[in-house]
Amino acid sequence: MRFRNGFWHLDDGVTLYAHKEYFDIDTDGGKLTLYACASPISCRNDTLNNPVMTTEIRAVADNILRVDVYHHAGAASPKPAPELPVSGKAAISASSIISKDLKAEFSSNGLSFSYKGKPLTSRFSRLSGCMTTPGGRYIAEYLTTDIGETYYGLGERFTQFVKNGQKVEMWNLDSGCASEMSHKNIPFFISSKNYGVLVLSYGKVSFEMGSEVTECAQFSVPGECLSYCIIAGDSIKDIVSGYTAITGRPALPPAWSFGLWLSTSFTTDYSEKTVLSFVDRMAECGIPLSVMHFDCFWMKEFQWSDFLWDSRMFPDPAGLLRKLHERGLHTSVWINPYIAQKSRLFREGAEKGYFLKRKDGSIWQCDVWQAGMAIVDFTNPEAASWYKDKLRELSRMGVDCFKTDFGENIPVDDVAWHDGSDPMLMHNYYSYIYNKTVYAVQKEMKGDDAIVFARSSSIGGQQFPVHWAGDNVATYPSMAGTLRGGLSLALSGYGFWSHDIGGFEDTTSPDLFKRWVAFGLLSSHSRLHGSSSYRVPWAFDEEACRVTAFFAKLKESLMPYLWQCAKESHGKGIPVIRPMLLEFGTDDEVIKYLDQQYMLGPSILAAPVFREDGIGRCYLPEGKWVSLIDGSSEEGPCWICREYDYFSLPLYARENSIIPFSKDGMGMLRAYNASDSLLEGIAEIHNGTCTLYDGGFAELELITTTGKNSSRRIIPIRKGRNTL
């Protein structure tokens, strides 16, 4: 939110209680507390009618400090609020607090932060403080920015990847993928100087990333208190890992979820016959398929969500699910947290008080999505249990996954939540509690196979994968914007991400579909889904079937490698799809701005083709790079710009990397180093024996997958024949 009219003046009606003069420091209670008054003190009389701003700083974890800034301490503590570790180890002196290598220090210049003695940022004291506006009070913090410093993250954002110069508000909306708004608002940004800032609020946090005051990253919240964390490290990886350490690491999705998902699409006509014909045709085309997804109209119109199959189209749903399982597939169905008035569940939920209410005690209803729909109040434990029971019935029937759509656009006016939560905070938090509720059912019923396919999210939502981008459009600009959203979300702690291949809205051209297939099948999770038309490849042309089969099989062969990446995400919080700067840092100025290419895990660079003329372009950082498609090699740093057919794109292996593949029933390693080009079949794994043909690698991480089961071993490996 903007409070200033230029740099020198405040907007009309705005009063600022700034940190003008720090007059006291307290080091009791395991924290550093700073007291600053809004006007300078020249005599005792100046202590009267002089508002005081208080800043408390404590350690949360290694290299993570929490900062609480408040004006009136007696203001109501807002809930819900993110839950963090209670405290970390800290060294406190008369003017500083240190968590491992991160230091907050007070001096005559005010409050500053440094890491291993290197300055990170500091408070611009005379701009920061409590703002009284015609619309109420806000606490705003202005942190200084350095020359050339760039900012990233803030959730899944489809605007420019580098956030400098942008105003960004944390407010979940059913917004699509082509605006400044988002389904997933995460009040966490990362600086190219290797620190991050997490604002501890589910509310409408507003960021001005060098847009209000060009030399500051400013953020503000309504009310009398602002809390945030500073997270520092040696690399951007450290920052993402630190963020997920305190907000939750992503769960490990089941291995089958990494395969290709096929959707019935949204408003298309489909029945058991249609679904089975799609599955059979995919097999005929040689396209490996893992999941069959049933979108909204598996339920009868005007009755969403009642969790009952439309008997006109699906007379024997349990039988259909069994047939799909017999074909080796898993199943997914669409749900949302809204109950239409015509639903069989409406009367039951209304009588038991399970829906969000107005302040007068009546049920909040609207006609925006479903006629007379109500919203399940997950702050009521009984309502959450009731909702879970309905999902358990579907799980017992044979449903393997729930697509948790919606959860945005939650009302804030004239509403009362069961547990008394602040409506403004519940707006974003609702997505978290909704997905947490559904994921809990999945964990209970499916164990290690637990997964949801979610659209909305907020702080901590990365714990419940997988998330998909939402409603993109069948255009090249939308495809590129979708990638920008995924890269921003990755830097917001989300390990697993998907998007609608070919675009959700409109019907894509055969050309764009084939380009998007390559991008989609080189993402952590891959789904063919559309709105008013099917996304089956034969709907475009015969070549689309062959392209889809090619990249689906390529991804299938990469599964041992992707599983390693997934475990790293689960264990350390590092996402599978990675912006280039996550792997290579920002010392190379080019890397800071790259948003049309990415790393798939630590070793594979992918650059989707975004042009109708087939020209693909990417930047290769320093080192040797080997094409996974044709085995050619390039020496970086350099730009690659050439024409690619539909079976190719810039797809390179990083030097000194070992990539496990699966091929024709065998495991296989490929190694890439500075002295050799691609060495095909360096190590073949078959019948319990590994033969290493070249290399010199000390050990091998062997992952084998059979059906739903995966195993992992670390084994020593020598040139020649090795018994596994």
Q: Which helix (H) or strand (E) holds 99?
A: strand 96-99
Angstrom distance (rounded) from CA 64 to CA 87 = 10
Q: Which amino acid is at 108?
A: S
Is residue 345 within 8 Å of residue 374, measured between CB atoms? no
Residue type, 286: G
The CA-to-CA distance between both ends of the chain, in Å, stands at 60
Candidates 149, 224, 238, 405; catalytic one: 405
What is the Cα–Cα distance from 450 to 418, expressed in whole angstroms? Answer: 28
Whether the CB-CB separation of 418 and 379 falls below 8 Å is answered with yes
Dmax (CA) for the chain in angstroms is 88
- Taking the C-alpha atoms of residue 424 and residue 307, their distance in angstroms, rounded to an integer, is 30
Q: Coil, strand or helix: which one is 521?
A: coil
Cβ 565 vs Cβ 465: under 8 Å: no
* Contact between residue 198 and residue 207 where contact means Cβ atoms under 8 Å apart: no
H-run or E-run covering 659: strand 657-663
550, β-bridge pairs: none
Element (H, E) at 383: helix 381-397
Tokens for 598?
């990415």
Strand partners, 55: 34, 69
471 included as an active-site residue: yes
Pairing, β 651-654 against β 657-663: unpaired
Note if 408 is an active site residue.
yes
Structure-token pair, residue 168 = 């960004």
Q: Which of 238, 295, 471, 655 is catalytic?
A: 471
Residue 458 is given by DSSP the state -
Task: Look up residue 197 and give its two tokens.
Answer: 């800032």
Instruction: Tell me if 462 sits within 8 A of 248, measured CB to CB.
Output: yes
Torsion of CA 40, 44, 46, 52, to 10 degrees: 70
Q: Which of 408, 505, 511, 583 is catalytic?
A: 408
Secondary-structure percent of the chain, ordered helix, strand, coil, rounded to 5:
25, 30, 45
Which residues belong to the active site?
A: 405, 408, 471
